[in-house]
Amino acid sequence: MSYKNFTVETDADGLALVTWDMPEKSMNVFTMEVMDELDAIIDQVVADAAIKGVVFTSGKSSFSGGADLTMLKAMFTMIEEEKVKDPANATKKLFDAAGRMTWLYRKLETCGKPWVAAINGTCMGGATELSMACHARVASNSKSVKIGLPEVKVGIFPGAGGTQRLPRLINTQDALQIMTTGSDLSASRAKALGLVSEVVEPENLVAAAKELLKKGVDAVQPWDKKGFKAPGGAIWSPNGIQLFSAANAILRRETNMNYPGALAILKCVYEGLQVPIDTGLRIEQRYFTHVLSTTQAFSMIRSLFVSMQELGKGARRPAGIAPTKFKKVGIVGAGFMGAGIAYVTAKAGIPVVLIDRDQAAADKGKSYSEDLVKAGISKGKTTKEQGEALLNLITATPDYSALEGADLVIEAVFEDRGIKKTVTEQIEAVIPETTIFASNTSTLPITGLAENSKRPNQFIGVHFFSPVDKMMLVEVILGEKTEDKAIAVALDYVAAIKKTPIVVNDTRGFYVNRCVFRYMNESYDMLQEGVPAIMIENAAKFAGMPVGPLALNDEVAIDLSYKILKAQIADLGEHTVEKHHMAIVDKMVNELGRLGRKNQKGFYDYPPKPAKKSLWPGLKDLFPQKKAEEVDFEELKQRFLVTIALEAARTMEEGIVTDPREADVGSILGFGFAPWTGGAISYIDGMGVKAFVALAEALAAKYGAHFKPTPLLLDMAAKGETFYGRFDPYRVANAA
């Protein structure tokens, strides 16, 4: 038989090599077609008496990335359509769809013939679950091998047998940690845990798998044999009781119970290990169906899986412009941001010219990359040779003429219009007409900066976030005269350095920082009201934010907040800044000298390590304090999420952000907006615009006009619309 996505070759020893190699795909992914073909292959293996065993491997450099984006989109579309057409049957259809992969893998492992998975490169999600259904696993010792079950990161959990097989293969505690964190394993770590049988050289991978079959691999899984005991012991043993008591506490601490998928993992393992595997798989299927039905899962998968992939692949890139292959990128300004941009550019294999006012300053900027390379070598993440090759791509110099021939130049100097004007003129004196000019500014409008350029049509903003090597988001900001060529080059560059772009129109603070300022401003309001600082920080974390607003303000620097407020007053007038907001930062900076982490004192105190930071006790003396019982903690949580979501809605109403995918992805990647919501716009859509408007109006009545819903929100509530309906990005794309 022949297959589109697989080849099946049987050797003289009766060992079948099943190679998964999807045409026109850079990585193997699960689709309905793939599962149908795998189903047929299992039947072929069973029917062919000449086949004694199977090696399952990939014909690509990686094993598989898991489920296909389009398959997940189709499943959610089916759910929504079925809810409208036949609500009673919707859950049954979802239950059957959720179990397709589960029972296919069960068919594989009970087919009567042994299967060995030969794992090369990335092996994630459903692919890891497939490998666990095989009767043994062999992995390459290549550093590219990563084995994991990352589903919890997008709101679901390993629902194709992962919660049942992993704790039957390895220690229960390790299994829970792998699944609830979504962390991946190297081949050696997987072998140490007992997940992988052997680790071999890449060129010996298939041969080693076949040799394993020749020596004898039991075609009956351990959990299908009488008397099987899980490696971690019984659930009701003293160790089991202690483990699950601790696991529940840790889950509550780490997730604040915002993630149904994470909780379902504990439930599946706890209940599943007490019953036979088939019953355990049915339990998992039921929980998976429930989690897939939640707003959290729908929104997280849409934003963190579907939208991120679409944006990363150039969903907003103008059509008809040839892709840019970068021969040289120039970066002017070798401070913390410029140095970070130089590192990620060189890491992508692109030659970099890093310029500053003198050689010492430029060299200092390059030393940032040197330190990161040293750290990478010490941790085994890179080799000395790879590190040297990266550093050789960075030329540190004060000579602007070195920018000649650059495809893109990024200005990353201080947030000062005068300095940026001077630097722009110096750059444009040496670069060719074809070079695109980008400014890495965090707040200054691009249109105004482009006035310093002789070719504003080729001027664009690229706003990185700190630290550049870790933060995955880049805001691409369009000035009034920015043309498609500049947009295309900027997006090509972001793709080359493997980050996720959002495209926004010009305004003060752009998109992310406008939302961040709302978050910090709400904490100023709470301080003035006398809410204890610890309740402010904890409310934000319980709402799902990764860091409290006061801690975030310290990281940003309180004196920077002061400068931004001063600049806003100068440009837009005093009425645009709340007096008590300015009073708080003014007192912290100018009277108390508390600038944030940069000088070891801000809203927090930063004692020498290993001591941890703690909230500054003097905060309670700034305003009369309320007693904890006088504060509505749930309302504090709502205030943080609603004020940010309102600002996200304003940016869409103003046309700053035009695609809800970008508003959602930008809010999560830019400042960690409660990922369980799917992002700031999905937070509104998830509860329903009408319900959000009612909540915002209730908060406005108590806490001020900044909570009043915008005209757009009121109109959408009246019409029963959603953001993803009114601003449907796919309708816009199809129309184009």
Annotated catalytic residues are 463
CB 219 within 8 A of CB 110: no
CA distance 171 to 173: 6
Start-to-end CA distance of the chain, whole Å, equals 42
Q: Which two tokens stand for residue 60?
A: 């690509």
Helix (H, G, I), strand (E, B) or coil at 587: helix
CA distance 42 to 19: 13
- CB hemisphere CA count around 245 (13 angstroms): 7
CA dihedral 348, 352, 357, 363 (to 10 degrees): 70
Residues in Cβ contact with 365 at an 8 Å cutoff, skipping those fewer than 6 apart: 334, 335, 338, 339, 342, 354, 356, 396
CB 206 within 8 A of CB 57: yes
In 597-712, DSSP assigns E strands to 604-605, 614-615
Residues in Cβ contact with 76 at an 8 Å cutoff, skipping those fewer than 6 apart: 298, 301, 302
CB 261 within 8 A of CB 158: no
β-strands 184-185, 146-148: how paired? antiparallel
Residues in Cβ contact with 409 at an 8 Å cutoff, skipping those fewer than 6 apart: 329, 330, 331, 332, 403, 427, 431, 435, 436, 437, 438
DSSP letter, residue 540? H
In terms of Cα–Cα distance, which of 511, 509, 537 is closest to 523? Answer: 537
CA distance 506 to 510: 6
Helix (H, G, I), strand (E, B) or coil at 145: coil
Helix (H, G, I), strand (E, B) or coil at 240: helix
Strand partners, 20: 6, 58
Q: Which two tokens stand for residue 720?
A: 């029963």
CB atoms within 10 A of CB 480: 12
